[in-house]
Amino acid sequence: MFSEVGKMSRWLEIELAVTDALAQAGVVPADAAAQCRKNAPVIDEAFVARVEAREAITNHDVAAFVDVLQESIGAPAGSWIHYGLTSTDVVDTGLCWALRDASDITINAIDELVTVLRDIVNTHRNTPMIGRTHGIHAEPTTFGAKVALWGLQVLRDKERVLRARDAVAVCKLSGAVGTYSNIEPAVEEAVAKHLGLQAVPATQVIARDRHAEYLYACASLGTTMESIAVELRHLQRTEVNEVREGFAKGQKGSSAMPHKRNPISAETISGLSRVLRGNAQVGLQDVPLWHERDISHSSAERVVLPDSSSLAVYVTRRMTKLLSNLEVDTANMQRNLDSLHGVVFSQSVLLALVESGMTRDDAYRVVQSAAAKAIDTNTALRDVLLADKTVTLSAEQIASAFDVTRVLRHAGRAVDSFLAAK
């Protein structure tokens, strides 16, 4: 899509579409426009090489392209190519066309990821695990709820990409400084319709806040992929071991240590997301240009726009593959959930004591002390509470406080929200 062949193929169609529209407007002879279409060259590596050779003389890529294109079509019809246009008309419209199509590929990649996430959510809707805050055991949650929240964030990124697609899918053919001095607005409208783009007012360049929005959408998607990746990296740590990246037959985790099985996909995604965020900063810096145009944005965009487009798709597809092959260790999730002897139900006990008439601060101190004793003595918190004379709860009330089903009775709300979302 961003190769020289791809770029010049779009330039060619824009030039021909303008000539066709000018013929419809009575500016270009109809037979000349037809001849341009008929004699239009195939854009291949040989054509690109001719343009590059010409650019060595002109020191201007679009001027070189127009020279070679006119030569290929032949006179007199070829002389109508690029009539009334400035180079940025062709370059900006072609770039926006490419970014629109790149957005479609990104959206397809997101949809594939969402399908995998929904499969995991359906499988693990009720799989209990420990929730962690600050990296410390907090209260029970479900793996399904965790993944559903990832999915909802991915869907928000899809909306961002769709909005960025709309923002960048525009066309500008209004000439130098954007005043339509040598081309009619109707020609711009006709070409925009032909290309499936939206004609917009502009200076000599299309405003770069559109491209910045596109780069932000790519960066936001990459950051979401990193959010998932970081969580998976934590959950794969030896001490946690609740999930594991798939490991293919013959794969090696380390050149030195045969036992190693590392979260390489998640770490790769984390690294590449940093590039996407850096590129988004470049996009913002490209917005303020001098007067009606300069080219300070152009050199940077030739790097960051193709790279971010490719990386946004890559990290999304890499995450899809990772999750498609993810091993979920439900038994270890349960072991970790039980590892602190039930202290993760401390809030439920606290509230039960408050309901029984104890002040909140007194109840907090009682449960805090009991939880510390349970951990220090490797004793179930439930047993510590039952032996504590200051705890006035019945055995049934204590049992209810430790009922994981009760604690997780609403955890499916995130799952339902994700499964119902479009």
pLDDT in tens, 410-420: 999 999 999 99
Task: Give residue-wise pLDDT tens across range 316-326.
Answer: 999 999 999 99
**Residue 280 pLDDT grade (very low, low, confident, very high; cuts 50, 70, 90):** very high
d(CA 360, CA 363) in angstroms, rounded, equals 5
- Are residues 52 and 29 part of one domain? yes
Domain assignment present for 135: yes
**116 and 199 belong to one structural domain:** yes
Q: Which of 7-16, 252-261, 356-365 has the least mean pLDDT?
A: 252-261
Does pLDDT of 255 surpass 90? no
Residue 412 lies in a domain: no
| Judgement on whether residues 138 and 22 belong to the same structural domain of the protein | no
Examine the pLDDT at 161 and tell me if it is beyond 90. yes
Out of 303, 335, 367, pick the residue that ends a domain: 335
Which band of pLDDT confidence, cut at 50, 70 and 90, is reported for residue 250? confident
- Same domain flag for 138 and 223: yes
pLDDT of residue 249: 86
* pLDDT at residue 254, rounded to an integer: 86
The amino acid sitting at 385 is L
Is residue 48 scored above 90 in pLDDT? yes
Query: Same domain for 313 and 330?
Result: yes
Asked if the structure places residue 254 within a domain, the reply is: no
Residue 43 lies in a domain: yes
Tokens representing 185? 């607005």
Residues 6+ apart with CB under 8 A from 1: 98, 101, 102, 105, 306, 309
- Please indicate, yes or no, whether residues 280 and 381 belong to a single structural domain of this protein: no
Q: What is the mean pLDDT of residues 342-364?
A: 96
Q: What is the CATH classification number for the domain harbouring 390? A: 1.10.40.30
Number of domains in the chain: 3
Q: Region 399-421: what's the mean pLDDT? A: 96
253 pLDDT above the threshold of 90: no
C-beta neighbour count of 273 within 10 angstroms:
24
Q: How far apart are CA 249 and CA 114, in angstroms?
A: 27
Segment 305-312 mean pLDDT: 98
Core vs surface per residue 357-393: b (16+ CB within 10 A) or e? ebeeeebbebbeebbebbeeeeeebbebbeeeeebeb
Residue 410 forms part of a structural domain: no
Structural domain that includes position 375: 343-401
**Confidence class for position 9, pLDDT limits 50, 70, 90:** very high
**160 and 287 share a domain?**
yes
Domain boundary pick from 36, 61, 81? 81
Q: Are residues 116 and 181 in the same domain?
A: yes
Q: What is the mean pLDDT of residues 206-214?
A: 98
CATH, residue 47:
1.10.275.10
Q: Is 407 domain-assigned?
A: no
Residues 198, 330, single domain; the answer is yes
| Confidence check: pLDDT of 195 > 90 | yes
pLDDT at 422 over 90: no
Co-location of 44 and 192 in the same domain: no
d(CA 343, CA 381): 6
Q: What is the CATH number of the domain that holds 307?
A: 1.20.200.10
Region of 175 on the Ramachandran plot (φ > 0 left; ψ -120 to 50 alpha; else beta): left
Residue 188's pLDDT band, with cuts at 50, 70 and 90, is very high
Q: Are residues 129 and 64 in the same domain?
A: no
Tokens encoding 39:
């004699």
Region 107-128 average pLDDT: 98
Q: Is residue 422 domain-resident?
A: no
Claim to verify: residue 59 and residue 109 sit in the same structural domain: no
Tokens of 366: 């009682």
Residue 182 lies in a domain: yes
What residues are annotated to the active site? 134, 254
* pLDDT higher than 90, residue 75: yes
Q: What is the Cα–Cα distance from 272 to 264, expressed in whole angstroms?
A: 12
Domain boundary among 293, 312, 335: 335
